[in-house]
């Protein structure tokens, strides 16, 4: 059965926080496999990310914490990983992170950890160094305790179907992914892309190279030409000219919404038909578009309560 999961980013102000928690209720009600929360490179959003993750820990949906390691010393990275584990998090998306804005070409921005693979190893090491056993209550015997082995962490990593912008070749991207799995990663989530063949070709190459972990395609419903341009600028993906033309030709927000949902639904169906194990949906902290796509693919029947009341 195909899975689905969502990505959020931490709110930047009180109004955004209010809007996020409204959407979060709808996203949680859709019962995804997990909800991941992004993390600003160099820890710039640490507290805000942890706030959303702590909230998710009170719901039925497991949270996944993104962590970046760019610019950190080993001891800083270790402290942050401990803080997240102490909060109760057992699922991470380990990332290297991008250079700070304004930094010059070269690897000077990197700290002690030079790649996401090294962060994967460090998370496993910090987890293993913690008390390997904890005490659990025994049902029916209030004063009795039994030892249970510590929980294993899930560690996801990023994958780039059309290549990381700094990568020199497809082989380098495949080697990096393989190295991250060898370091202990057990799930990959892809950068967004616009054509199902990009993902299907990449996963075939990854399997041939020896990657065995699940590779979830990242899917983003894009609802305006401006956002499409921003995403292309951010990711270095090639502009999907047909989608741009259709979004630009649509004259009202409703018409643009319909174009974006139709494109994301077609992409999702092609991915699932091609054998993708599920969908990881980038939400932009809103529930409407991703739930529309999931309903159109038949992966969920959750009704948007706001639309029901309207
Ligand atoms: P790595 O796996 O370490 O490597 C990235 C690429 O760089 C590889 O293709 C590799 O071939 C190449 N490379 C590695 N080492 C070298 C080297 N020494 N020389 C040349 N090339 C090299 N960023 C954030 O700041 N916060 C987030 O929350 C966040 N979430 C993300 C979620 C997803 C699903 C994805 C796909 C990306 C996310 N990013 C996030 C962006 C990510 O941090 C950047 O893409 C970053 O540039 C690379 O991170 P990585 O973990 O892929 O790095």
What is the distance between the alpha carbons of residues 84 and 65, in angstroms, rounded to a whole number?
Answer: 8
From the CA of 218, give the closest atom in ligand 1. 34
Q: What is the distance between the alpha carbons of residues 162 and 237, in angstroms, rounded to a whole number?
A: 7
User: Does 17 have pLDDT greater than 50?
Assistant: yes
**Closest residue (by CA) to atom 47 of ligand 1?**
98
Does 39 sit in the ligand 1 pocket, CB within 6 Å?
yes
For ligand 1, mutation pick of 7, 95, 187, 237 (most atoms within 8 Å of CB): 95
pLDDT at res. 131: 62
d(CA 204, CA 98): 27
Ligand 1 pocket check for 41: Cβ under 6 Å: yes
Residue 218 falls in which region: left (phi positive, over 0), alpha (psi -120 to 50) or beta: beta
Residue identifier of the C-alpha nearest atom 21 of ligand 1 = 167
The per-residue pLDDT for 9 is 96
Q: How many angstroms separate the Cα of 242 from the Cα of each of 132, 194, 228, 293?
A: 54, 10, 12, 19
Q: The dihedral of CA 289, 293, 294, 298: what is its sign?
A: positive
Nearest to 148 by CA among 130, 131, 136: 136
Q: 97 CA to middle of ligand 1, Å?
A: 6
Q: Which protein residue has the closest C-alpha to ligand 1 atom 53?
A: 96
Whether pLDDT at 295 is above 70: yes
End-to-end CA, the chain: 33
- For 44-102, what is each residue's pLDDT tens digit? 777 899 999 999 999 999 999 999 999 899 999 999 999 999 999 999 999 999 887 77
Which percentage of the chain shows pLDDT scores above 90? 78
Q: Mean pLDDT score of the chain, rounded to an integer?
A: 91
Listed residue (297, 155, 271, 285) closest to 217, CA to CA: 271
**Degrees, nearest 5: CA angle 225-226-231:** 95
User: Of 13-27, 53-67, 144-158, which gets the smallest average pLDDT?
Assistant: 144-158
Indicate whether 306 pLDDT > 60: no
User: Is the Cβ atom of 98 under 6 angstroms away from ligand 1?
Assistant: yes
Residues with a catalytic annotation lie at 7
Question: In 10 A of CB 169, how many CB atoms?
Answer: 9
Strand partners of residue 216: 189
Ligand 1, atom nearest to 97 Cα? 43
Q: State if residue 3 touches ligand 1 by the CB under 6 angstroms criterion.
A: no
Residue with CA closest to ligand 1 atom 36: 191
- For the CA of 160, the closest atom of ligand 1 is 36
In the chain, the domains with their CATH numbers are 3-134+147-221+282-287 (3.20.20.220)
What number does the ligand 1 atom closest to the CA of 99 have? 47
- Both tokens assigned to 235: 């990711």
Mutate which of 5, 72, 109, 115 for ligand 1? The one with the most ligand atoms within 8 Å of its CB, which is 115
């Amino acid at each position: 059965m195909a899975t689905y999961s969502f990505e959020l980013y931490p709110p930047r102000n009180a109004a955004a926080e209010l809007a996020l928690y409204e959407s979060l209720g709808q996203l949680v009600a859709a019962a995804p496999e997990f909800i991941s929360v992004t993390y600003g490179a160099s820890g710039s959003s640490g507290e805000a990310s942890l706030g959303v993750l702590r909230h998710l820990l009170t719901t039925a949906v497991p949270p996944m914490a993104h962590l970046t390691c760019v610019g950190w010393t080993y001891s800083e990275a270790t402290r942050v990983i401990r803080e997240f584990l102490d909060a109760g998090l057992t699922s991470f998306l380990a990332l290297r992170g991008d250079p700070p804005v304004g930094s010059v070409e070269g690897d000077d921005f990197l700290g002690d950890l030079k790649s996401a693979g090294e962060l994967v190893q460090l998370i496993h090491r910090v987890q293993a160094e913690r008390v390997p056993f904890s005490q659990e209550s025994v049902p029916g015997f209030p004063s009795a305790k039994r030892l249970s082995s510590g929980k294993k962490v899930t560690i996801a990593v990023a994958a780039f179907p059309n290549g990381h912008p700094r990568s020199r070749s497809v082989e380098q991207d495949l080697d990096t992914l393989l190295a991250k799995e060898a370091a202990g990663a057990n799930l990959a989530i892809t950068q967004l892309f616009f054509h199902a063949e990009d993902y299907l070709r990449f996963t075939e190459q990854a399997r041939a190279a020896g990657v065995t972990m699940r590779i979830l395609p990242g899917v983003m419903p894009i609802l305006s030409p401006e956002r499409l341009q921003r995403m292309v600028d951010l990711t270095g993906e090639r502009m999907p000219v047909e989608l741009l033309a259709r979004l630009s030709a649509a004259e009202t927000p409703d018409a643009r919404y319909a174009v974006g949902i139709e494109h994301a639904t077609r992409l999702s169906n092609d991915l699932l038909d091609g054998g993708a194990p599920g969908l990881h949906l980038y939400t932009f902290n809103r529930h409407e578009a991703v739930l529309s796509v999931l309903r159109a693919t038949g992966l969920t029947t959750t009704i948007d309560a706001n639309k029901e009341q309207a």
